[in-house]
Amino acid sequence: MGTTSATERLIGVLAFLMLVDWASQAQAQLGVGTTWVRTDAQGKGIVLNVEACCHGGLRLLYDVPISGGQPAFKMSVDSPMNGTEAPALIAGKPSGETMAIKRVDDHHLTAILKMNGQPFATYNATVSSDNKSMTVDGVYGTGSQTQKVTETWVRK
């Protein structure tokens, strides 16, 4: 087994501390333990709960109301928030969808959504300076089938 120099140990410790700091910033951005509610007409009533998970990442738990009085559609994603693809689970089972969510800075996130390995949407999210609202600009589809959507979320 080789020896580790003091410089190598220091670099390792600094890298770990930067990772911990980055993770805590990502968690503060969406607010671990908080609930967000979508208020725009297309998604009114969708609820997003945010929890800590996966070594500094976030667990995003979506409750999507279904018309006709049926129980809410439940989806979850455990994301390291670094742009790595993470599976979207529906009722705890793989759905074929992945989300690659990345923290850009203190108030911006990006995401690429794929279904069965094929990209189908991109998102750019901006969290307000007071952390009470979030606007998400999304683009779905490709070519002539592209649709733009703006989502509005408020923190509860």
Residue 48 predicted with pLDDT over 80: yes
| pTM score | 0.78
pLDDT tens string 87-110: 999 999 999 999 999 999 889 999
Does residue 130 lie within any of the structural domains? yes
Residue 133 predicted with pLDDT over 60: yes
Does residue 1 lie within any of the structural domains? no
Does residue 38 lie within any of the structural domains? yes
Under 8 Å CB-to-CB from 46, ≥6 apart: which residues? 37, 38, 62, 63, 64, 65
Give the count of domains, the chain. 1
Domain around 103? 6-155
pLDDT at 78: 96
Does residue 137 lie within any of the structural domains? yes
pLDDT at 28: 52
Residue 139 predicted with pLDDT over 90: yes
CATH assignment of the domain containing 79? 2.40.128
Does residue 75 lie within any of the structural domains? yes
**Spatial separation of the C-alpha atoms in residues 112 and 84, rounded to whole Å:** 10
pLDDT at 76: 96
Length of the chain (residues): 156
pLDDT at 126: 95
**Residue 27: count of CB within 10 angstroms of its CB:** 20
**Spatial separation of the C-alpha atoms in residues 141 and 146, rounded to whole Å:** 4
Residue 37 predicted with pLDDT over 70: yes
